[in-house]
Amino acid sequence: MNHLLLLSRGGLIALISGTLFFLAMEGRAGPADIPSEAAPAAVAARDLPDRFAGAEVLVETTRALGDHESERRRVVRYGRDEKPVRLIEHLRHDPETGDDKLLYQGAAVADRILVSVDSAAALHELQTFLNGHDAYALVDGKPGARIRQLSVLGGASVESETALHAVEEAVEAIEAAGLDGIMAGVNRLYFPATEPNDPSYSLQWGLEKIDAPSAWDIATGSRGVYVAVIDSGIARNHPDLADNIAVEYGRNFVPDADEDAFDDQHGHGTRVSGIIGAVGNNGIGIAGVNWEVSLIPLRVGDGSFTTDRLADALDHVTDLRQQGVPVVATNNSYGIEEQRPPNQRQVDRILKSAIERSRDAGILFVAASGNAGEDMDNGTKTYPAAYSADLDNVIAVASTTGSDGLAGSSNYGQTLVHLGAPGQSIYSTTMSGSYGTASGTSFAAPFVAGALALMKAADPELDAADLKAFLLDTVDPIPSLDGKTITGGRLNLGAALQAVVPEAVAVPVLSLESSAPTLLRTPLYPVDLQVVADSEPAHDVAVSLGTYGDAVAGDDYAPLPPEVVLPAGETRVVFTLQGLTASETPPDEAMIGIEILASDDYETGDATVELVLVPHSFAHWQEFFAQHQPLEDHDGSDALAAGGDGIPDLLRYALGLVPGLPVPDRREALPALENVVDDGAVYPALSFNRPQGLGDIRYRLQVSESLAADSWQNAEWEVLDVTEREDGTERVTVRDAIPAGDRERRFLRLNVLHEDDGS
């Protein structure tokens, strides 16, 4: 591990270690932050890129520290608003190459500091202090704002050497005055995470990894749940985001722009937002963790975010929550690295106090752990994630890979980082209206913020403590995070939702289906009934059955069992209902209803079936068959019904009801009506059984659009198939020559003729 200690006016400035997640932007603080005595220490440190290369330098000084090292202070103009930024940098000169390597770089706004004012009395006390210090003055701001800015240069120019030290000296003066209810601090710069990489790799592997599909079986989100994205803004016209943006609550905290100008000018915030809540199931692009959610866009900068904007954004969210807007969490994919000896404070107290206020309002604060590859328990800490040590609303998130490894650049910490989430090559929305991938803990954090919102949508009664507990108790333990995070695991969205709403996956919805609409009064032709579940149950389910109607169990049909068992992992179970012949002459028709009875083990859908019990005599069958057996055409209209007359014994044989005659397979004995397709046209067809060798019998088929006795007409039919069967019968299929649809309704009659008398 590489470290660097740097001495400056008044004491130790900073210690940095490892690769920067977000460039460490931290200026010299007052006496409470920096001891007056500290011994220098010099160890090897990595050469850093200069974030401010090419910026206009307004003033610069350098002083030697010894051993080829030096401290450089600069004031530069930075960003779109060209604000003056004071830099403190530590350089090492290489005598062999003549190059200066940048070992440390810290930044703060050069001409202003921040003061937090907790009451009107405190503001009065501050103004009294300022009356005796002509160099300092309150900058006009939003009336009643808690965070105020104080100009500190007096009449001095930002191009003067005064600007190199003014902010630290002002913080010292206010802290030394001991003003009640006043907190002072430099206005630090925070930076978003790593930039995008290959836009075509892996797509949305992260959602599969956290088992999002199982979670979506339970909930897909709600626009009644709000997540604030404190970042570079959101592209409000992105087709996969627009419907999920809470425009009415969005704000811009960047000066010199309209308050509602929250449109993303950098891209980072739009990528983060797509992970939380790209609109799902809309046929375009991607899906977020939440298909529906209300994203509150809070623009706090482009390439960097300052303390005052971050604190103001957090206070805006806190105010919304106190006004009744159900904000669940803020997503905070930004940070700075700081490393100092243990006896020194390393807290941005202005920002931390804003996080505390959001905690008191019941809002969770999801923070990226940082991309320095550091053990934050023992080395460089990234803030605000490291505030998890003493703020219980802070949830710090590490980055994991597609193979469940800890990303090499991700910070970790057994006591500071809570869990991991996918963060490598994450496919999401871009500010151009398209899609691409990016990597870093910046894109792991929104998976967690999205998970909190989805849990809240599934159970609106959950509070912040409940949500955090469900989140952390349901992680997938993975070896790469064992001993490196508090939970030792990676986010499992499916398990979290199942814990929130366990009955949603444990209880199937059952329906009841029948293989036929009628039941013959004979045990030869039972009807198959089946219980159908909409999902596979995790355990055997006992399905309770009941009956109703005027048919009598034991006389008209065989009694059903009181329950059937749907086995675990299966979606259907079949049982049979058999008709019986009563000793007394039966009525023409009766009805039996079968139903699935209610139970805590399942829910019911279409859970009843009603069957007409048909008398088994030929006369009753003929009448019933003509009236109750429609066959649906492909267009769903009733197109065909059938009846029969002629020689009773032949049709009785076809029904398997003639004593002494062989009984065909009961499933194939009944005449069957069907549609057949030929050259794209649909034709009605009839299949029936007959004894083999009936050479003296022929058939006449008639059709009618009604059942009137004088409306029957001879039809042109053709035999499609004759199949011999092992039981001594043959199956005949005949087809109408006229396609279905040419008549509104069609009835079929089969006449059997003897050659000798033509009857």
What type of residue is 444?
A: A
Strands of the sheet with 292-299, listed across from one edge: 251-252, 292-299, 221-231, 327-332, 364-368, 394-400, 419-422, 489-490, 476-477
* Residues whose CB falls within 8 Å of the CB of residue 523, separated by 6 or more in sequence, listed in order: 558, 578, 579, 580
Spot the catalytic one: 116, 442, 480, 704. 442
* Rounded Cα gap, residues 524 and 450, in angstroms: 59
Residue 41 in tokens: 């220490």
The answer to whether 13 and 338 are in contact (CB under 8 A) is no
* Rounded Cα gap, residues 369 and 484, in angstroms: 12
**Which H helix or E strand runs over 627?**
helix 618-628
Spot the catalytic one: 90, 165, 238, 268. 268
Encode burial over 650-676: b for 16+ CB neighbours within 10 A, e otherwise. bbbbbbbbbeeeeebeeeebbbebebe
* Residues whose CB falls within 8 Å of the CB of residue 705, separated by 6 or more in sequence, listed in order: 711, 743, 744, 745, 746, 747
In the numeric block, the tokens 């100009």 are attached to 151
**Which H helix or E strand runs over 504?**
helix 503-506
* Residues whose CB falls within 8 Å of the CB of residue 342, separated by 6 or more in sequence, listed in order: none
Q: What angle do CA 130, 131, 136 make, to 5 degrees?
A: 40
The answer to whether 573 and 530 are in contact (CB under 8 A) is yes
Q: Crossing angle of helices 445-458/268-277, nearest 10°?
A: 30
Query: Residue 144 CB: number of other CB atoms within 10 A?
Result: 8
**Can 377 be counted among the known catalytic residues?**
no
CA-based R_g, the chain, Å: 40
* DSSP label of 716: -
**Can 124 be counted among the known catalytic residues?**
no
* Rounded Cα gap, residues 374 and 361, in angstroms: 32
The answer to whether 314 and 192 are in contact (CB under 8 A) is no
SS3 264: coil
Q: Where are the alpha helices (DSSP H) in 249-402?
A: 268-277, 307-322, 349-360
Residue 206 in tokens: 């992260």
Encode burial over 709-745: b for 16+ CB neighbours within 10 A, e otherwise. eeebeebebeeeeeeeeeeebbbbbbbbebbbeebee
Residue 595 in tokens: 């139903």
What type of residue is 731?
A: R
**Can 200 be counted among the known catalytic residues?**
no
Q: Looking only at Cα atoms, what is the longest distance across the chain?
A: 133
Spot the catalytic one: 33, 111, 211, 231. 231
Q: Which residues are catalytic?
A: 231, 268, 442
